[in-house]
Amino acid sequence: MIKKTLISTLLLLGTNALSNINVTTTIYPLYNIAKEVGTDKIKLNNLIPFGIEAHGFDPIAKDMAILSKTDLLISSGDLMEPWKNKIVSSLKIENKVFDMSKHVKLIEIEEKNHNEHDHEKDHNHNSNIDPHYWVSLNNYILMTKVITQLFIEKDPVNKDIYKENSDKYLQKIEALKIKYDTSLNSCKNKKILVNHNAFGYFADEYDVKQYSISGLTPESKPSAKVVSELIDLVKNEKINTVFFEEFASPKVAQTIAKAANVKIDTLRPAENISKIENEKGYGYLEIMEDNLEKLKFAMDCK
Ligand SMILES: [Zn+2]
Q: Summarize pLDDT for 59-90 with one digit per residue, the tens.
A: 999 999 999 999 999 999 999 999 999 999 99
Considering the domain architecture, whether residues 135 and 113 belong to the same structural domain is answered as yes
Q: What pLDDT does 3 receive? A: 52
Residue 226: give its domain's CATH number. Answer: 3.40.50.1980
Query: What is the CA(86)–ligand 1 centre distance, in A?
Result: 22
Residues 255 and 110 in one domain: no
Q: pLDDT tens digits, residue range 277-302?
A: 999 999 999 999 999 999 999 999 98
Cα(72) to ligand 1 centroid in Å equals 24
**Could you report the per-residue pLDDT of 92-113, keeping only the tens digit for each?**
999 999 999 999 999 998 755 4
| C-alpha 103 – ligand 1 centre gap (Å) | 19
The helix or strand, by DSSP H or E, that contains position 140, with its residue range, turns out to be helix 137-154
> Is the Cβ–Cβ distance between 125 and 118 less than 8 Å?
yes
- Tell whether 196 and 115 lie within a shared domain: no
- Tens digits of per-residue pLDDT, 224-244? 999 999 999 999 999 999 999
268 Cα to the center of ligand 1, angstroms: 10
Closest to 54 in 3D by CA, of 210, 193, 192, 196? 196
- C-alpha span between 67 and 72 (Å, rounded): 9
Q: Are residues 156 and 211 in the same domain?
A: no
Overall number of domains in the chain: 2
Instruction: Decide which of 133, 162, 178 is a domain's last residue.
Output: 178
Average pLDDT along the chain: 90
Distance CA 91, CA 171 (A): 38
* 157 plus 266 within the same structural domain: no
CB proximity list for 292: less than 8 A, separation 6 or greater: 176, 179, 180, 183, 184
**What is the whole-number distance in angstroms between the Cα of residue 182 and the centre of ligand 1?**
27
Q: How far is the CA of 216 from the centre of ligand 1 (A)?
A: 6
Instruction: Give residue 249 CA to ligand 1 midpoint distance, Å.
Output: 14
The confidence score (pLDDT) of residue 16 equals 46
Contact 23, 44 (CB under 8 A): yes
Shared-domain flag, residues 20 and 136: yes
The answer to whether 245 and 256 are in contact (CB under 8 A) is no
Nearest one of 138, 154, 150 to 104, comparing CA atoms: 138
CA of 144 to the centre of ligand 1 (A): 20
Predicted confidence band at 118 (pLDDT cuts at 50, 70, 90)? very low
Q: Which helix (H) or strand (E) holds 21?
A: strand 21-25
Range of the domain at 172: 2-178
Please tell me whether residues 290 and 220 are part of one structural domain.
Answer: yes
Regarding whether 103 and 10 lie in a shared domain, the answer is: yes
Which of 109, 143, 178 delimits the end of a domain?
A: 178
Same domain, 67 and 205: no
Task: Judge contact between 256 and 242, C-beta under 8 A.
Answer: yes
Residue that finishes a domain, picked among 130, 153, 178: 178
Here the contacts of 218-222 (C-beta below 8 Å, separation 24 or greater) are 218/53, 218/55, 218/245, 218/247, 218/248, 219/53, 219/55, 219/56, 219/248, 219/249, 220/116, 220/117, 220/120, 220/196, 221/252, 222/113, 222/116, 222/252
Q: How far is the CA of 104 from the centre of ligand 1 (A)?
A: 17
> How far away, in angstroms, is 9 Cα from ligand 1 center?
47
Q: Are residues 12 and 94 in the same domain?
A: yes
Average pLDDT of 206-219? 91
Distance 109 CA to ligand 1 centre (A): 12
198 Cα to the center of ligand 1, angstroms: 5
Q: Are residues 42 and 148 in the same domain?
A: yes
Query: What span, in angstroms and rounded, lies between the C-alpha atoms of 251 and 97?
Result: 38
Give the neighbor-by-neighbor strand order of the sheet with 97-99. Answer: 42-46, 21-25, 72-75, 97-99
**Domain shared by 141 and 238, yes or no:** no
Cα separation, 190 vs 298, in Å, equals 8
